[in-house]
């Protein structure tokens, strides 16, 4: 459907983009520039800004429960936003919202939806017929199971195994869609196949399709909850296929609220949380003591995590 939307309705889309209105609301020029533009993610997915409310000034304004545009001097606004971020005063960040149109594989949608603090309207496969669009990983993302992490990826598959896996994925995806259409009593052009058949209900036929098929939704979230989403999903532990969406949204956030983005990067994304025992180890290290896992009180896994934090440049 999305290609139908973005191709056959291209004229209408152009119309929408061309329309400009006059508003007294907080407006972000850098976001207006990419409003309605699909930003490509994975092979057939995208993220597209549909609407937004507020800017960095709205965060400052809410923090001051004042009506103006905050202080005029940017460094004061940055200082206040840094303070809010550092001290977990999160409510002012709830005062900004963004609404995105997203196209994504079903298995990504299933992870995504676990974040319950957003509003969602998803394309309904009870009501409409899904498009023939499915996700096939690029060869460099076709990873083996990690041997050290139950929930992660290891080396990239190569050679015959890679080819074998890709062939299975593609063939089965194509076959599933062909059978999906058959169940619906449709030919490959979407025309009725056999006048004597009824066609299975769409809400049942969809059962045939695997979770690499694409769905799409409108997704609206406030800035506070967006940062929570991004801190988990733009993280290196997140599955690649959702991380690329998070990264696209990080770029959007940087355009939208640059001061908040800076504070988010400085105080959350690139900072680190140390445990009570981890802190004690750090204090001893600073005093020049030789601290080892054995005398640190940390488990070997925790010790590994601490060392990684302390060694990263």
User: What is the C-alpha to C-alpha distance for residues 87 and 180, in angstroms, rounded to an integer?
Assistant: 53
Nearest to 102 by CA among 250, 247, 245: 245
CB of 20 to its own copies, least distance (A): 5
CB of 5 to its own copies, least distance (A): 6
Nearest-5° Cα angle at 132, 131 to 133:
95
**Is residue 87 part of an annotated ligand binding site?**
no
Q: Which of 14, 69, 74, 187 binds its own copies (CB under 8 A)?
A: 69
**What residues numbered 38-67 form the site for its own copies, per CB under 8 A?**
48, 50-54, 58, 61-63, 65-67
Q: Which is nearer to its own copies, 58 or 234 (CB)?
A: 58
Q: Which residues of 268-278 are buried (b: 16+ CB within 10 A; e: fewer)?
A: beeeeeeeeeb
For residue 300, the cross-strand partners are none
**Is residue 225 part of an annotated ligand binding site?**
no
**Is residue 17 part of an annotated ligand binding site?**
no
CB of 189 to its own copies, least distance (A): 18
**Is residue 210 at the binding interface for its own copies, with CB under 8 A as the rule?**
yes
Lay out the site mask for its own copies across 114-153 (x = CB under 8 A, - = otherwise): x-xx-xxxxxx-xx-------x-x----xxxxx---xxxx
Q: Residues 6 or more apart from 303 whose CB is under 8 A from it?
A: 293, 296
Contacts by 273-276, CB closer than 8 A, 24 or more apart: 274/306, 274/309, 275/302
In this structure, what token pair is assigned to residue 107?
Answer: 């298995």
Whether the Cβ atoms of residue 105 and residue 135 lie closer than 8 Å to each other: yes
Binding footprint of its own copies, residue count (CB under 8 A): 137
**Is residue 122 part of an annotated ligand binding site?**
yes
User: What is the C-alpha to C-alpha distance for residues 84 and 70, in angstroms, rounded to an integer?
Assistant: 14
**Is residue 275 at the binding interface for its own copies, with CB under 8 A as the rule?**
yes
**Is residue 221 at the binding interface for its own copies, with CB under 8 A as the rule?**
no
Whats the size of the chain, residue-wise? 313
**What residues numbered 185-204 form the site for its own copies, per CB under 8 A?**
197-204
**Is residue 299 part of an annotated ligand binding site?**
no
**Is residue 104 at the binding interface for its own copies, with CB under 8 A as the rule?**
no
CA distances in angstroms from 287 to 284, 290, 291, 295, listed in the order given: 5, 9, 10, 15
Nearest to 187 by CA among 134, 179, 201: 179
233 has catalytic annotation: yes
Phi, then psi, of 165 in degrees rounded to 5: -65, -45
Q: Which of 76, 86, 188, 292 binds its own copies (CB under 8 A)?
A: 86
Q: Which is nearer to its own copies, 115 or 247 (CB)?
A: 115
Catalytic residue among 202, 233, 255, 283: 233
Q: Which of 177, 214, 217, 303 binds its own copies (CB under 8 A)?
A: 217
Task: Show binding-site residues for FAD.
Answer: 91, 114-116, 122, 222-224, 228
Question: What are the residue numbers of the active site?
Answer: 233
Task: Show binding-site residues for dUMP.
Answer: 111-114, 122-126, 206, 233
């Amino acid at each position: 459907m999305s290609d139908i939307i973005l191709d056959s309705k291209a004229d209408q889309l152009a119309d929408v983009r061309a329309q400009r209105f006059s508003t007294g609301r907080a407006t972000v020029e850098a976001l207006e520039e990419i409003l309605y533009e699909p930003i490509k993610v994975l092979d057939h997915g995208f993220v597209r800004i549909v609407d937004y409310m507020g800017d960095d000034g709205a965060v400052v304004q809410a923090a001051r429960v004042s009506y103006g545009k905050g202080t005029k001097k940017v460094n004061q606004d940055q200082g206040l936003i840094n303070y809010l971020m550092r001290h977990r005063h999160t409510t002012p960040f709830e005062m900004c919202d963004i609404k995105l149109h997203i196209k994504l594989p079903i298995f990504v949608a299933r992870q995504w939806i676990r974040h319950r603090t957003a509003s969602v309207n998803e394309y309904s496969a009870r009501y409409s017929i899904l498009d023939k669009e499915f996700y096939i990983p690029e060869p460099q993302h076709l990873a083996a199971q990690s041997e050290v992490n139950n929930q992660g990826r290891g080396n990239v598959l190569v050679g015959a195994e890679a080819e074998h896996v890709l062939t299975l994925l593609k063939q089965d995806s194509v076959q599933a869609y062909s059978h999906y259409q058959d169940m619906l009593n449709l030919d490959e052009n979407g025309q009725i196949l056999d006048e004597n058949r009824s066609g299975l209900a769409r809400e049942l036929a969809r059962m045939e399709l695997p979770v690499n098929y694409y769905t799409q939704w409108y997704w609206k979230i406030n800035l506070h909850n967006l940062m929570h989403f991004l801190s988990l999903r733009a993280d290196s532990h997140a599955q690649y296929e959702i991380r690329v969406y998070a990264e696209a949204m990080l770029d959007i956030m940087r355009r939208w609220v640059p001061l908040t983005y800076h504070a988010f990067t400085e105080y959350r994304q690139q900072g680190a949380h140390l445990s009570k025992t981890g802190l004690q180890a750090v204090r001893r290290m600073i005093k020049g003591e030789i601290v080892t896992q054995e005398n640190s009180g940390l488990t070997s896994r925790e010790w590994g995590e601490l060392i990684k934090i302390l060694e990263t440049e």
